Amino acid sequence: MDHPKIRLVLCDVDGTLLDKGQTVVSSAVFHTIRQSVSCGVQFVIASGRSYPDLKSLFAPVVSIVSFICCDGALAVKNGGILYQATLEKAVVNTLFDKIALSGQESLVIYGRDHTYCFGNNDLFKTSTPVTSINEVYGNVYKLAFFKFSDQTKQAVRSFAAKSRQLSEIYADSSWTEFVAFGTDKGSAAAALQKQWDISSLETAAFGDNTNDFGMLRQARLSFASPAAVSDIKRMCKFQTTSVTDEILNILRER
């Protein structure tokens, strides 16, 4: 059966375009992105990172790609917002009232052009320290709780479940992260597909972790990166040993 050509590539960053622990994007990645765009493919970099962080990381190609930032809460191209799912300031304010921070505990608040840190700011030198939600300017897209006690995490999760205003998008031993209810990389990807009139049959996606599930479901060709967790490997149609080589193969098959 013949399938339509791939017109959209969705690609996670950490663990996918960047190897674990890597902090600089390789020349091979930039070459692959440029090749994709030159072939008429929309290349979307999708991450839990903030927009400013992604702009800096992908500076050599920032003018030719689109970004899905904050785990799907914000999509941007050339500084213009393509899609957004914001958190109500009242919801964030309620959480401020519910938490009492101590020690290394921090709450990082993601805006469009800035991140803000409530609590211990030692590890987040690029974030603006704040003591109140009133000091946060513009929309809020994501909340990331760092080193919170089990008691505090449970209180936040309980509030999220009852309010239906928040979705827990990522959690590990240090971080617990929330976006607007029903938001993930997949919802942002679907919005872009609709805007660009690109179907899932014309989409390829690459990811490594559970916050990539929604995005991978939006693609006919779903690939687990070499560093992917077992759940992602099980749900993807393919596994790859090289993300850049796989994308170049897709371009050749067009």
Judged against a pLDDT cut of 80, whether residue 6 lies above it is answered with yes
Residues 244 and 190 in one domain: yes
| DSSP category for residue 223 | E
Q: Which domain holds residue 148?
A: 89-180
Q: Spell 141-165 as b/e; 16+ CB within 10 A means b.
A: bbbbbbbbeeebeeebeebbeeeeb
| Number of compact structural domains in the chain | 2
Q: What pLDDT shows up at residue 172?
A: 87
Residues 79 and 189 in one domain: yes
User: Can you give the pTM of this predicted structure?
Assistant: 0.94
Residues 45 and 107 in one domain: no
Q: Which of 180, 208, 241 is the last residue of a domain?
A: 180
Task: Evaluate whether residue 1 is within a structural domain.
Answer: no
Residue-wise pLDDT tens digits, 10-33: 999 999 999 888 889 999 999 999
Residue-wise pLDDT tens digits, 65-104: 999 999 999 999 999 999 999 999 888 888 877 776 666 6
CA 44 from centroid of its chain's CA atoms: 11
Residues 71 and 190 in one domain: yes
Mean pLDDT of all residues in 116-122:
78
How many CB atoms within 10 Å of residue 135? 12
Residues 201 and 162 in one domain: no
Residue-wise pLDDT tens digits, 127-143: 888 887 788 889 999 99
CATH number of the domain to which 249 belongs? 3.40.50.1000
Residues 134 and 246 in one domain: no
CATH number of the domain to which 115 belongs? 3.30.1240.10
Q: What pLDDT shows up at residue 123?
A: 65
Residue-wise pLDDT tens digits, 130-180: 887 788 889 999 999 888 888 888 888 888 888 889 999 998 888 899 999
Residues 100 and 222 in one domain: no
Q: What pLDDT shows up at residue 1?
A: 61
CA 59 from centroid of its chain's CA atoms: 17
Task: Evaluate whether residue 173 is within a structural domain.
Answer: yes
Q: What pLDDT shows up at residue 218?
A: 98
Q: Which of 180, 213, 228 is the last residue of a domain?
A: 180
Q: Which of 136, 154, 180 is the last residue of a domain?
A: 180
Cα radius of gyration rounded to whole Å, the chain:
18
Residue-wise pLDDT tens digits, 184-243: 999 999 999 999 999 999 999 999 999 999 999 999 999 999 999 999 999 999 999 999
Task: Evaluate whether residue 3 is within a structural domain.
Answer: no
Residues 123 and 141 in one domain: yes
Instruction: Tell me what the pLDDT averaged over the chain comes to.
Output: 92
Q: What pLDDT shows up at residue 100?
A: 64
Residues 106 and 170 in one domain: yes
Q: What pLDDT shows up at residue 102?
A: 62
